[in-house]
Structure 1
Amino acid sequence: METKMWKVDNIVDNLLTYPQIVEAADCLKQNEVVALPTETVYGLGGNAESDEAVAKIFEAKGRPGDNPLIIHIANLDQLTDFVQEVTESAQQLMDAFWPGPLTLILTKKSGKLSGVATAGLSTVAIRMPNHPIALAVIAASGLPIAAPSANLSGQPSPTTAEHVWHDLNGRIAGIIDGGATGVGVESTVVDCTGEIPIILRPGGITREQLELVVGEVAADPALTDPNAAPKSPGMKYRHYAPNAPLYLVDGEVCDIQRLVNEKRAAGKKVAVMTTEENRLAYDADVVLACGRRGELETVAEALYDTLRTFNEQEIDVIYGEVFPETGVGVAIMNRLTKASGFPVIVL
């Protein structure tokens, strides 16, 4: 399959009639899949009403079929087609954070959405992205768009069109290049079907921000208990991983350097993932700074690009610093522990 690359300026006027947007929307109407930028990461979009289109998403990504997809909409009118009830907490969160990096789990109205997209569940995950290109494509297609991250399953999520091209060229109909994304980690997923909203996946909207709007917010036990079964799209399997083993280390620079020295003495090519504050403190084969520790938003923005950059270096092992689990740091550590797959080394 030939994969087209459409370059679109996200500040251009009249995006709905922009030729590349129209062409991409037409592909979606024909049940093809198209990668598009959102404010979080690039998504791999397909018609959420079509089993055929959704199957192409799973096939292109190599994603397990029991992993439900998030449905993206361009306006609130679309909700009534797919959702049985908008709870009070859901309405409050939509008013506060939509469009934006927040996905809400609501009770599904049967009959219209592909059962493949929702993995046969009675609920549906829905969000309205805060990106002009994504909103324009969805609106131009007139469809709800199922869109997981536009990467091969298990790989770091894509934050540029080049990342998508690397993973999916020849596997999908097209890629809309709208530049680098902003938030850098996926949306926060909140289950609003019960009395108390429950965070199923931390992301671009923090727990503190949510609680300012709706009061008490709980967290899925699976976020901290490895033996609990996760409920959120994208959280059942290992994700975000670089090619080399990644070990997270809770320790001082000298502690991490000692581990680096031991591996290098054994003939291994060793990398360190740190931040700008410590970038010059390490002696390793590769040292990459992932944002600034004093501004965790920059770490989130650079996280996946940094993990992908390690893949270009033929590294044997990566040691990574840990981050405080407050604010967006919760999402950062969630993604890093999923990427690592190993217990944090505490020194």
Structure 2
Amino acid sequence: MEREEKIELAANVVRDDGIIGYPTEGVWGLGCNPFSEKAVERLLRLKKRTKDKGLLLVASEIDQFFPFLEGLEENNLAQLDKIWPGPVSFLVPDNGVAPEWIVGANETLGLRVSAHPEVKSLCDQVGPLVSTSANITGFPPVKSAEDFLVYFEDEIDYVLEGSLGGLEKPTEIRHIITGEVFR
């Protein structure tokens, strides 16, 4: 099967409220439609993660995040534009647009514009996607397709094949206003 067909299959699963596994910049990820409460709740159950922690969203271009960025200062928007696409996730103030099951108990929303080829192609088709490390809460993130399948093979709807990017760990998470680095 050609790469484009695999991307289309993954996109259809996301559109149908399914859960996919896919490679990211540093670790394997789990993803779903962030606007589907049903899909997000299922993903949280798989990870054994509580809803209050919130989830990060990934996109292929900053334009896909504009509704979430409304109200952000120009200098902060310029910073995002300078760094993205890239392996840095930013916490931005929640402006009330993102669903509560994405924001959790936080006052911020985690966002990243990815340059990873599979992530970018997928988000080109479906828009923003939940992007969380493929692991059970409390365990290390998965760094190989083989380990991913051990954890999740029978639990998800599709695995998008591909290689991890060059990072040795999950992406950095930084607060857009304070500059504080959380990971």
When normalised by structure 1's length, the TM-score is 0.49
Query: Who is 1:102 aligned against?
Result: 88
Query: Who is 1:156 aligned against?
Result: 140
AA matched with 2:100:
G
- Write out aligned runs for 1:103-118 (5 A): 103-111=89-97, 113-118=98-103
Q: Is the counterpart of residue 174 in structure 1 residue 158 in structure 2? A: yes
Query: Who is 2:116 aligned against?
Result: 131
Which runs of at least 4 in structure 1 moved beyond 4 Å after TM superposition?
Answer: none
**8 A Cα contact 1:74 1:138, kept in partner:** yes
| Root mean square deviation of aligned Cα | 1.9
Identity %: 23
Structure 1 residue ranges without an equivalent (≥5): 1-6, 9-14, 202-347
AA matched with 2:102:
A
Query: Who is 2:32 aligned against?
Result: 46
AA matched with 1:198:
E
**What is the rounded CA distance, in whole Å, between the counterparts of 1:80 and 1:170 in structure 2?**
36
**Residue 126 (structure 1) shift:** 0.3
**What is the rounded CA distance, in whole Å, between the counterparts of 1:157 and 1:93 in structure 2?**
28
Q: How many residues align?
A: 183
The structure showing larger relative contact order (alpha-carbon pairs under 8 Å, at least 6 residues apart) is: 2
**What is the rounded CA distance, in whole Å, between the counterparts of 1:168 and 1:88 in structure 2?**
41
Superposed CA deviations along residues 163-192 of structure 1, whole A, max 9, x for unmatched, are: 211111111111112024420211111112
- Write out aligned runs for 1:192-207 (5 A): 192-193=176-177, 196-201=178-183
Superposed CA deviations along residues 85-131 of structure 1, whole A, max 9, x for unmatched, are: 333453343233211110111122324x3211110433211001220
Structure with higher Rg: it is 1
CA pair 127-61 structure 1, distance change in 2 beyond 3 A = same
Structure 2 residue ranges without an equivalent (≥5): none
Superposed CA deviations along residues 147-175 of structure 1, whole A, max 9, x for unmatched, are: 11012222221122212111111111111
Query: Who is 2:59 aligned against?
Result: 73
Query: Who is 2:125 aligned against?
Result: 140
Q: What SS class does the counterpart of residue 199 from structure 1 fall into? A: coil
**8 A Cα contact 2:89 2:171, kept in partner:** yes
**8 A Cα contact 1:161 1:176, kept in partner:** no
**What is the rounded CA distance, in whole Å, between the counterparts of 1:70 and 1:180 in structure 2?**
18
Q: What SS class does the counterpart of residue 96 from structure 1 fall into? A: helix
Q: Of the candidates 72, 85, 107, which is equivalent to residue 71 of structure 2? A: 85
**What is the rounded CA distance, in whole Å, between the counterparts of 2:163 and 2:180 in structure 1?**
33
